[in-house]
Amino acid sequence: MNRLTNLLGVLGGALGVAGLIAYSVAPGQLWLVTLCEGIALICLVAFFVAHVESLKAFSARRSTRLGVHSLLMVLLFAAILVIVNFLAARHSLRWDFSETQHFTLAPQTHRVLRGLHREVKITVFTQDRGQAFNRYHDLLDSYRQASDKLKVDFVDPERRPGVARQYGISRTDTAVFESGTQSTRVTGPSEAELTGALIRISKDTKKRVLFLEGHGERGISDTEPGGLSIAKETLAKQGYDVAAVVLLQEHAVPKDASVLVLPGPQRMVTREEKDRIGRYVADGGRLLILLDPDSKAELDDLLRQWGIEAGKGVLVDLQDRLAQGDLTALMVRTFTEHEITQDFTFAVLFPVSRHLVFHDAAGKDWDFVPLARTSARSWAETNLQGRVVSFSPKEDVQGPLPLAAALTPKKAPEEGKRHAAIVVVGNSAFASNEYINFPGNTDFLLHALGWLAEERELISITPKDPAFRPFIPNPTQERSLLYVQVFFFPVLTFLWGMTVWSRRRRL
């Protein structure tokens, strides 16, 4: 009888496991799963009924009680772990203890994520567990923590070549963003690239930024150090439609222009062009003027109607300047509180600049806010030739001096009309290919254009470099490490082991 009931117990256990396997392999065959589990239940019940007395005797043992208590403690601890993991998955919190906050998203990124109004699908084509995979995974995991609008899928092109061909992927480590009818892609796992893609994908229309040409300005197609091709590419990544305009060929500034930029004109701007620019601003247009010293653009009469005068000479600063650089290579660190200069953490490099002067009488209808100033140890040098640079009270203008400013009309615009705005910077080289990669320069340009275009979320995300400071020992430190690691610790471990062995032997 005992052999029969033992056989029923083994059969019941085997059928129970078989039912689980059948459900995982063929979940549609529920009749088979039900049959296996039903027979298993009958066999196990019969086994326990036949061995009820043995079970009573077994449960009365001290070792059984201790074993049950241990089992209950293990089950309780496992249940606590399950609950903690469930709560962590539903309400996760993350702390970034890295020195440079490398795993913390920028405030600008959080604003973009909060502003998403539709779902965005992100398909990342990268090799599993590669360096780019880890970087994409860490970044996008932080993005998903901040927004439930993101759906992320990782695809290994080598394992799923069909999906890669469907998307036309020609290189790995590419992420494709899709939302509605919009689609864009990035080729690098950086926060600036990913946030820029989110901005582009979430908008059905783009703000248009026009750069004036025809007067020796810096060109947006010019890839030389003095050109603006990198600035154009940066603006395109931020979701702008960037183009050039020749006002001599137009009757007026195009109506679809969100911002008109004068990128350092060197030759004379005609009266007709200045009239068109003036009418554009009067009708609520947004204008960014970049002025260089010794420019022959003759914009004085245009600037005068807003109360601005471009100061004479070149700014020199003994304090805020590029280390080991020329006295005219200013590293400006003093900014006025304004939407353009918010969240600034870097100095802006302005090489060879001029200052601005605001006249209250001529600009009585405008609010003038200096955005950036030189230090108190600066001045406007009017004669850089033929002598050692030094301040001359009779010829030069003592600092601090503003070299960038924002203007808005005091009077509110008529209903239905745009609110005009102007930003004037006494330098255009800061936006050129040679200097735009300075983090502060990129920030300043994009902040200014974002404010003018009334797209304040389209601002730069400065990449964070991980803090890596390797320890390189000198010869003395190398010998100390050798003695400690190779001799001291092994000998200490051996002596400790011999001591423990000797004590146990005497027990």
Domain locations along the chain: 2-90, 107-191, 206-452, 474-507
How far is it, in rounded angstroms, from Cα 181 to Cα 377?
55
pLDDT at 362 over 90: no
Tell me the per-residue pLDDT of 147-161, one tens digit each, with 9 for 90 and over.
888 999 999 988 888
Confidence category of residue 275, pLDDT binned at 50, 70, 90: very high
Q: Give the pLDDT score at 386.
A: 52
Question: What sign does the dihedral 317-320-325-330 (CA atoms) show?
Answer: negative
pLDDT at 58 over 70: no
CATH architecture of 206-452: 3-Layer(aba) Sandwich (3.40)
Q: Give the pLDDT score at 328.
A: 86
Residue 182: exposed, middle, or buried by beta-carbon count in 10 A (0-12, 13-18, 19+)?
Answer: middle
Our measurement of the distance from residue 70's CA atom to the centroid of its chain's CA atoms, rounded to an integer in Å, reads: 50
Query: Which stretches of 96-239 are assigned E, i.e. beta strand?
Result: 120-125, 150-155, 174-179, 182-186, 207-212
How far is it, in rounded angstroms, from Cα 68 to Cα 163?
53
Where b means 16+ CB within 10 Å and e means fewer, 473-503 reads eeeeeeeeeeeeeeeeeeeeeeeeeeeeeee
Please provide the average confidence, as pLDDT, over all residues in the chain: 83
- Ramachandran quadrant class, 93 (left: phi over 0; alpha: psi -120 to 50; beta: rest): beta
Q: Give the pLDDT score at 66.
A: 74
Tokens of residue 486, six digits = 């190779």
| Fold for the domain defined by 107-191 | Glutaredoxin (3.40.30)
Confidence category of residue 424, pLDDT binned at 50, 70, 90: very high
pLDDT at 278 over 80: yes
Rounded to a whole number of angstroms, the CA Rg of the chain reads 36
Looking at per-residue pLDDT, the higher value among 324 and 49 belongs to: 49
Cis ω for the linkage preceding 400 (within 30 of 0): yes
Q: Give the pLDDT score at 100.
A: 54
pTM (2 d.p.): 0.62
